Every structure is written in structure tokens, then in C-alpha cells.
Structure 1
Amino acid sequence: MAAPHPARRRVVSRRRAAASAITVVATVLASALAGLSAGPAFASSHREAPLISGDPPVDNTDVYAFVSPDRPDTVTLIANWYPFEEPNGGPNFYPWATDAHYDINIDNNGDAKADLTYRWNFRTDDRRGNNTFLYNDDPVTSLDDEDLLFRQTYTLSVIDRATGRVTNLVTNGKVAPSNVGPASMPNYRALRDQAITAVPGGKTFAGQADDPFFLDLRIFDLLYGKDLSEVGQDTVAGFNVNTVALQVPKSTLTLGGNPARNPVIGVWSDTERGSITLRTPGAERSLGADVQISRLGNPLVNEVVVPAGLKDRFNSLLPEQDRTVPALVNKVSNPEVPDLVQRFYGIPAPAKPRDDLSEIYLTGITRKSGDRIDLTLNSQLDNADVDPARFAPSEQLRLNTSIPVTARPNRLGVLGGDLQGFPNGRRLADDALDISVQALEGAAVSGIVKALAAGDRVDRNDVPFEAVFPYVALPNSKAVNSSSSAG
């Protein structure tokens, strides 16, 4: 395993220093038990990996990266956690974990290491004590309203790997609370807007939002019932997620601060926690060295590309380690889904190995890869100042920030002739499920597979996205099992 780069080195807090004796014992135990999978391991996306259900607050669901449509000199990064938040899930609702690091990483030179890491750390101010079970004890009209009894704040820092410098961008950011409902929060939009905080050249947001992913997850029932009869139901409609969003100038993210020469960046999110969870009656805390427990770049990779036996391991890998796991790389070039489609629907699977998928998921789309996709689009290899000898294939969501904002976006992104869409970054309205299935069926080389052109028949989100930052829709407040879930 490669040694952790400087951005992964952590400063031990005073609280952990005070518990140093316990930490030493815990670390020794962690080393002894590592090969036995003792304790929970974690995975990302919508509950697709075996052990994630034990800790949903740190479960990555989706990552988005796109040139901001209303501020085209900037890039917007969005990462979501905590899948399937039922709006009526009180009285505790859906807080961010306070013992975890929530990260968005940027690789602009193609070495599969984070050149920049944007990190959110959350704190809780719970004023309920022994007085009430209520999240709020009267209508809440502002984030400072004394009737809001459960509050969270955050620090947003950026770690620069080249210098090792850690810079705080926000020190006391206010989190938009869970949407309790219209009686408790009659103007939730005002609360959401108050949670938007300025950063140099842009802004950031942390809080609850409607889950922007839209798809029919009955793909897992033998690929939509073996006859495409099980389609048309948006599985995540009405559910919420916890969201962080960041909008910064292109020059902040690109290599050398020069988006004209080096427009391509790689993006992924992760969550880190202490290696040991110490539980005592009525309390728990994390101890030991921070370890990565969840990771997400391209959508659906861990769900439908990575086999079950590697899902938890994938979430522990840094991108620079991807190529050291041959079984993982093999599943990209020899995917299972086309074989299943051939088995159930008689559509011939493309010939293997699939260098087109290796390009989409591991290198970025570029003619320099020498494969069958005749397009130069979003590989760091195409940045003018990248050293090809240092380039390392790895699973990342890659974005060419120089592609102009599309006047009429196509939900199928690149496959629909819209080069600003997924897999060139990912916009909120990109139909990730249909694009991914078509890509797995070889559409990037041979064109749209007409027999599967209708996809899952879920072509847009159940509620409209916003036209301005943070772009995600307001969180739902009606129960998912009601006649109308959006609210």
C-alpha cells in the first residue's frame, strides 16, 4: 500500500491526546484485527455495499461536478451523504456525523492523488437536554431562532498537497437543518438561503436537500424483471440527503491556476473516521488514526461494476491504489452487466476486454489512450503541463472545465451529443442510470443501443432543480408513502 501523502496526515486533537492510552491500545487492536474484518467496514452509494447500512450518516451517495450555468467562470462541486432520508424521520432527523471528515478531492495533474482536499467538519449544539424531545419548540424563522433546539455548524478547510498548507475557508458555517415540516419551518427556503456562506471567489452550502438522483433501482430484480416490465418508478423520489456544495473559480481548481492550459480536473468524495469506535453505555466516540470508510467518483461504479466481494475494499482504497488491485481493474474491462443483458434480452455483449470502459472510468476520454473512442474530452493527459510519466489510471469523475455551458442540455450527456454532460463531469439533470447502462453496452463506440433506448423510463427528477447555487431542490417534507411526496 502506498504511503499516505501529506494531505492525509492529521493533527491529534486535545480530546484524543487525553485518551492516548486508550488510543494506543485501540490502534494495536485495529492492526491485529485488520485481516479479520472485525467491526464494521463501510461502503458508498445508495446502500449497495454489504456493511454500509450500519452507518448511513457517512455513506456517500453521489458526486456532481459542472461548470456553473449562471457563473461560467466557476465550477460547482456537490457531494451527498445519508441515503433514503424519509422526511418524517423524527425526532432526531438526520444530523451530520461530528467525528468524521467529509471531503471533496481534486486531482488536476493525473497522478491519482488529491492535489486539493476540501474538508467539512461538523459540530453539534443540542439544546434539548432533559426538557423536550422536540427538534424545535415553535416555528423556526431563522437559523438563529431560539426555537431551533438542534443546530449544527461546520469548519470548511482546504488542504493543499503541494505545500501541506491547511487553510480555513469557513470557521463557523451554519448548517441548514432537517426540514421538519411546514408547521415547524413555514419558510424553509429562507433557512436554506441563510445557510449559503461566502468563500473566496464563490460560496458554499451544507444542509439537507431533495435527493437529486433519479432512477428505477429495480435493475437489481434481474435487470428490470427480465422483460423490462419493472420500469418507470423513481426509487428515490420523495427522499432527502445531506448535501455539501462548493462554487469556486476554475483557476482555483486547475493545474497551475491556469484553466486555459490545464482545463481538466478529477473529482471524488470520501469520508474518514477514526479506526476504532469506542462504545460505552449511552455514548460512543472514534479513536485512532483516521481511515477512509467511504468513497465515490463516477455514479453506479460500486453498485454495478464492482463485485460484491470487493465493494468494501473499494471504499477503503485511495484512487492511487486502484491499479494495485487487478481484480478491480479486471471488472472494469470485463463488466458483468453486458453479460446479464445478453442472457436476459439476447442483446450481444460487446467484445472484451473493454478498453472503452477503461477510458471512461480510469483514464478519462482521450485519443492518447489509443482505444476505440475517437474523442479527446476529459483526461488530465490532455492538460498541457501534465507529465505523462506521472499519470496513473484511477476511478475519478473527470471534468473538462473549458467546455462551454450547453444552452439546451441533453439528459444523455456525451452520448446525446452534449459534451458538457456525464461522463464529462456530471450535472444534476444528467440521466446517470441510462447513460451508464448504454456505456456498459458499448454506446460510446457503437452508438445508442436502440433496444434499450427507453432505459428505466425515469428521465428527470421528481422535483425541479434550482437555477442558482446550490442548484439542488429544497428537501421534501411530506412522507414518502403519501400520495404526493414532494413538499
Structure 2
Amino acid sequence: MKHLLTKPSQWLVAACAVTALSVWSATRYTPLEASSHREAPLIADDPLADNTDVYAFKDPSDPERIVLIADYIPFQLPQGGPNYSTFGENIRYEIHIKNKTTNPTVDDITYRFTFTRTNEDPSTFFNIRLNKQNLKTTYVCEKSVGGGAFTTIVANGVVPAYNIGPRSITSGAGLAKASYTDYRQGTVTTAAGGAGEQVFCGSSDDPFYVDLGAIFDLAGLRANNGARDGLAKYNVHSIALSIPVSTLQATGQTAAAATSILDGNYVIGVWASASRPTMRTLSMSGGATTDNMAYTQVSRLGMPLMNEAIIPIGAKDAWNRAKPGAEADATDKYLSNPELALYMADNVPMNGAAPKPANQTYYGEAIPALRALRIQTKSLGSFDFRNGAAGLSGLTTAQRAGTVFEGAYGPYLLDNSAAKGGPRSVDIKPIFHTGVPNAIPYQLATGKNGNPLAAGKPFINNFLPVVGDMLRLNMAVPATPRTSPDFSNQGLLAAAVLGITDARYNGNTTIQNIPNMDGFPNGRRLEDEVVKIELQAVSGAVLAAIGLWYDDYTPGTTPSPATPQLKGVLNFTAGVEKNDTTFRTSFPYVQTPWQGTRIRR
């Protein structure tokens, strides 16, 4: 995973601009590019290549299809004319899929999109006039299987015009369309070549929601004091694919052929990227630019908030430059001791907490908004999961027997040396880097009878042991109907609560289709409240779900694991609970973009 320094970067002057040269060091990274919702230092210079979010979910309308969405170009003002945002011409936008463990650094399927812009009426400053459109954008979609040659599956896809306003879209002075929504839906196309992929490329409401202003002000969340969705009424550009399960499954099997809803042969890993030419030459007279054809990755994203809230600022640009499986060794350490956990623990032991590990400083006292999310320090009387603590690394050989910790991935998942001090290698690291197997101890506390290392009720299996950051999805898990009273944007945490507390599910240890098993981090639905889920996970909610309860539960004396601390974690709010608008009920599911003439801030 280390990269050797091979050649120093050079900046060219005059009419040349180098857009993606990088220097890699054997001890640290010094790259020149970055990406994703502005979470890395250099992405502000290149928003067209900024991959903001990735989604992967079972189509709620068709059990044999999977929807993949990659969003780009953040913080688009709907009224941001006269040159409205659109996909970049000299960028390769790609969606990558892994469905095999062989050749771990090679994509099993890649969809590549390249875009072309045309000005139909260069004589006007308007974007649309008299049925002509400037910055009119079309695309080519190519597909590669097993790292082979790319084949064109959409030769002339159309990106709908920006939703400027009614005169531009529906009047005779503009495009004279019946409605923007119908016009946009009409650009959905079916790919050639027999696989039957549906494809959409165009602007959408940004489906991500979070109180950005508060969370980046040292996690000062303001749940009861004017929380504001920092992405409300902004647009993004979406690349959306609806793909048959049989196209994505490693051996071409349908979802109906799965042996169970947790069949491990149906797990895929998904990530998206953007790449630019390594060199661009600008014309001194204002003419066309000239690019070389050597592309390098300048943006990538798999799991949400990975680079935003896990990777420290000094490594963010490097992380964007690498591919899954080629991350720096330190990335595992960031996951085993996530920085956010520092703000969920106190220096002074409270409520019977264990003394803090030597040479470790916490900041929980300074972040009162996260007080409800205190991490286990003496779970079941002995297990401390704060940064720098031992976690489960001290398990004996006898305790590891029959668990996934005695297998090939045991040392990776346990970080089984107390001196390493990587307590979250058992929960946060596998969620981001391998997926979670349907194996002991990763089963619900239901049926464990107080022993977290016993077999329990299965509720997840998205284990794809190709180490690296990807959004992992088990395609065999049925979609939870969005109209179901059990549907929750809390994803797998909601499924865990039902599996432990609901009489429909907690009376046995058999596999059942518990609502929201198809939610984050088993894939990611548009609705899923990933900020809250990840904060709860960092606070130890996943550990509690498998029976490593919070500190105020004492076996034999406390009546129920549903203690005040656990209830506080489950009732925690990050301030913004849902998107600022609805989602569509059919492909491409992302909502119609905000119209430029209707925005009030």
C-alpha cells in the first residue's frame, strides 16, 4: 500500500496548466488534487470533478434491479446563471463495481461517462432562447467487464437543460416543453448491448442533508437551537444507473436464485471517481484547449463521510488520489481510532467509567452536543472501546473459538495486540473496509443470552473481503417498501432495534426479513440519515447491538440493556432529520432539480 517517490512534480508556465500531477512519498503523501463535497483542501479549485455522494440500493419497485447513483458538482445555486453548472468535458466520470475477491485492485465492472458541450446559438448571452440551447450537453457511456476494453452502450445520451425557469423551459420563447419533470424523465435511456441498463445523467436536488454549519464548527450540533440543512435547495448533477441483479452478480444469477436473503455470493462493492488529463494546454488567443490523453484520478468516493470525517486534513488529498485497496496503511489506523471518537469520551472518568488509557487525550467535555454519545469504557465490566484502549484485542484463544476472529481475517478485525490500541478495528474498520459478515459475533444480541461471543440473530452480511473503502451492498436483501410503517431512514440501526425489541423478530435466531436490512451501511438509500447513523456507530451503537452494552448496564443487576445511555444514543439527533424535499417513486429516484426562479433563501 506504500507508493515510492518516483519523480518530483513540475509546474509548467506560459499556456500550460498541469491539472493532476502528484508526488507520492514512501512515508507521506504530497498530492496536488482532491475531491468530494469540498471535504479536501484542493477541491474548491475543481468542482466539476467533485464526487459528492454515492448511493447503491435495491430498487423498491423491482426486486431484480439495483440502482447506483453518483452525484457530482456540489452547492449548485439553481439561479446560478448565465453559465449554469453541467458535467465537465475533459473529465472521465466512472462508477466501479467489485463482485469478486480475485484481482482485488481490478474492477469487475466499470461504467465510464464522457460529456460533450455544444453552443447552438453563440449570438446570445441566454442559456436557452427560441428552442436553441447553449452548453447543451450529451454523453457517451462505455462499459468494461473484468478490466477489459470499454464498449459503448449509450452513444448519444442527452443531459436535460438546467431547470432555469418557466420561460426557458415551457414557453414558446424557450424549449416549449410541457413540463420540466416530463422533459427530464424523457432523457432516461436504455443502454444497448443486451444487459438492459437504464441510464440518466442530469441535474437533481441534492439528496444529502446535514447541518453543515454546525457540524464543522467543532461538532457544535444545534438540534434544539435552529438547525439548518446546509444543502437545502441546492442542486447537484447525478449519474444514475438501474442495473439487473444478474448483471452485477458474480456468476450472472438473479436475486430469486439466492439461497437466502443474506447470501454472501450477492455482495457487491461500489465506488465512483472522476479523472482528468494530466496536462492541459490553454490557447493564448482564446481558442480551444488541448489535453493529453493520459488520465489520472482526482476524485473518489465510496462510503459517505469517509474522507470528510475519518481522514485527517493532512491525508485527505492523498486519499482521493488512491484507489480502494491501495490506501495508505494509516487509513486502517484512522478507522481503528476514528477522530470523532475523541469527542465522545471524557478525560475525567464519569459514571464509573474506566480511567483513560495512558498518553490519550479526549475532548468530550468541550463538545456538549455529543454528550449522549459516550462510548463504552467498561462494557460487561471489562471492555473499553475509547481511542487508544484495548477493545477486544485481549480475547483469549478460547474466547475467539467459533468466531470470525479465529479465521483468516481475525488479526485484521481484532487488531489483536493490545499495544496497537486499535479498539474500533472490530466495528468501524470492517464497516468501511471489508463489510460485515454473517458470523459470530456480528449477529444481534437476540438469542445470545448475555454472551456477545455467542451466536445470535443474523441481520447483516455484506462481507466482501477486498480490503478498501467501498459502499458494500448485499443484493439478496429485499427492499423495504417506502410506504411501510416500519420504514426508517435509520437503516441497519433501525433493523437492529426491531430485531432485539420487536416480538415479530426477537423470539428466534433464524434469518428473517427485518425491515430496513436494506439500509445503510448495507448499501445506501437516498433517504438514509447517514450523518446520524455514523455518529451513533462511532459512539458504539453497533457494539451494543451485538451485546457489548453501554456502561450503565450491569449483567445480573440491570433489568434490561435498554438503559438510559442506550436510549440516549438511539434518541440522539444531528438536528436535520430528512431531506428538504421528497424523492421520486421511480427511476432515477433523485428528485427534479430546484428551479432557478423559485428559490428564496
> Are the structure 2 counterparts of residues 431 and 92 from structure 1 closer, same or farther at C-alpha, using a change threshold of 3 Å?
same
For residue 398 of structure 1, what is the aligned residue in structure 2? 472
Tell me what 1:75 maps to. 66
> Which residue pairs with 2:188 in the alignment?
196
Alignment partner, residue 306 of structure 1 = 311
**Deviation larger for 362-371 or 332-341:** 362-371
**Is the 8 Å Cα contact of residues 79 and 595 (structure 2) preserved in structure 1?**
yes
State yes or no: 1:321 paired with 2:326: yes
Q: Does residue 482 of the first structure (1) align with residue 600 of the second (2)?
A: yes
The Cα of 1:326 is off from its aligned counterpart by: 1.9
What secondary structure sits across from 2:132 in the alignment? Answer: coil
Match of 1:233 in 2: 228
Distance 1:328 1:292, change over 3 A: same
The residue identity in structure 1 corresponding to 2:184 is: R
Counterpart check, 1:279 vs 2:282: yes
Question: Matches of 1:102 and 1:266 in 2, distance apart?
Answer: 17
Deviation at 1:128, TM superposition (A): 3.1
Whichever of the two has the greater Rg, that structure is 2
Q: Post-superposition shift, 1:29?
A: 12
Q: Which residue of structure 1 lines up, in the alignment, with residue 537 of structure 2?
A: 439
Q: CA deviation at 1:338?
A: 1.6
In terms of fraction of residues, the more strand-rich structure is: 1
User: Aligned to 1:171, which of 152, 155, 168?
Assistant: 155
2:166 is matched with 182
Partner of 1:154: 139
TM-score by length of 1: 0.84
Letter of the 2:472 counterpart = R
Q: Deviations over 1:17-70 (max 9, x none)?
A: xxxxx9xxx9999879667999951222x1111000011011000011011111
Say if 1:83 and 1:32 are closer, same or farther in 2 by CA, change over 3 A.
Answer: closer
C-alpha RMSD of matched pairs (Å): 2.9
SS of the counterpart of 1:122? strand
1:369 and 1:59, CA in 2 relative to 1: closer, same or farther beyond 3 A? farther
- 1:298-447 matches, within 5 Å, as 298-322=303-327, 325-342=328-345, 343=364, 344-345=367-368, 346=371, 347-350=373-376, 351=385, 352=387, 353-354=423-424, 355-368=426-439, 375=458, 377-381=460-464, 391-407=465-481, 408=484, 409-417=487-495, 418-447=516-545
Residue 431 of structure 2 aligns to which amino acid in structure 1? I
State the match for 1:290 in structure 2.
Answer: 295
Maintained 8 Å contact 1:364/1:380: yes
Correspondent of 2:219 among 223, 235, 247: 223
Tell me, what secondary structure is at the counterpart of 2:168? coil
Say if 1:450 and 1:49 are closer, same or farther in 2 by CA, change over 3 A: farther
Displacement of 1:288 in angstroms is 5.0
Answer yes or no: is the 8 Å Cα contact 1:378–1:398 preserved in 2: no
Change (3 A) 1:30 1:304: closer
- Residue 224 of structure 1 and its aligned partner are, at CA, apart by 2.0
Letter aligned with residue 281 of structure 2: L
The 8 Å contact of residues 65 and 426 in structure 1, kept in 2 or not, is answered as yes
Q: Please tell me whether the aligned partners of residues 273 and 286 of structure 1 are also in contact (alpha carbons under 8 angstroms).
A: no
Instruction: Give the counterpart of 2:80 among 85, 89, 94.
Output: 89
Farther off after superposition, 284-293 or 186-195: 284-293
- Cα deviation, residue 426, structure 1: 0.5
1:380 Cα offset (Å) = 4.3
Secondary structure at the counterpart of residue 333 of structure 2: helix
Deviations, residues 182-206 of structure 1 (Å, cap 9, x unaligned)? 2211321122012100123231100
- Which secondary structure state, in structure 2, belongs to the residue aligned with residue 270 of structure 1? strand
Residue 334 of structure 1 deviates from its aligned partner by 0.4
Shift of 1:222: 1.6
Which structure shows the higher helix fraction?
1
Superposition map of 1:109-120 within 5 A: 109-110=100-101, 111-120=104-113
Q: Distance in 2 between matches of 1:215 and 1:82?
A: 17
| Secondary structure in structure 2 of the residue aligned to 1:358 | helix
Q: Distance in 2 between matches of 1:32 and 1:450?
A: 47
Q: Partners of 2:586 and 2:133 in 1: how far apart?
A: 27
Structure 2 CA distance for aligned equivalents of residues 289 and 241 of structure 1: 27
1:325-360 CA-to-partner distances (Å, cap 9, x unmatched) read 121110011001121133123553341420200111
Q: Tell whether the 8 Å contact from 1:27 to 1:288 is kept in structure 2 after alignment.
A: no
Alpha carbons of 1:372 and 1:285: their partners in 2 closer, same or farther (altered >3 Å)?
A: farther
2:324–2:468: 8 Å Cα contact kept in structure 1?
yes
Give the direction of change, closer, same or farther, for the CA distance of 1:81–1:449 in structure 2 (3 Å limit).
farther
Which residue number in structure 2 is paired with residue 11 of structure 1?
none
Identity %: 35
> Deviation of residue 149 (structure 1)?
3.2
Q: CA deviation at 1:278?
A: 2.6
Q: 2:576 corresponds to which residue?
A: 458
What letter corresponds to residue 475 of structure 1 in structure 2? P
Which ranges in structure 2 are unaligned for 5 or more consecutive residues?
4-11, 171-178, 346-363, 377-384, 388-422, 445-455, 496-515, 546-564
The 3 A distance-change label for structure 1 pair 30 and 463 is closer
Whether 1:126 and 2:126 are equivalent positions in the alignment is: no
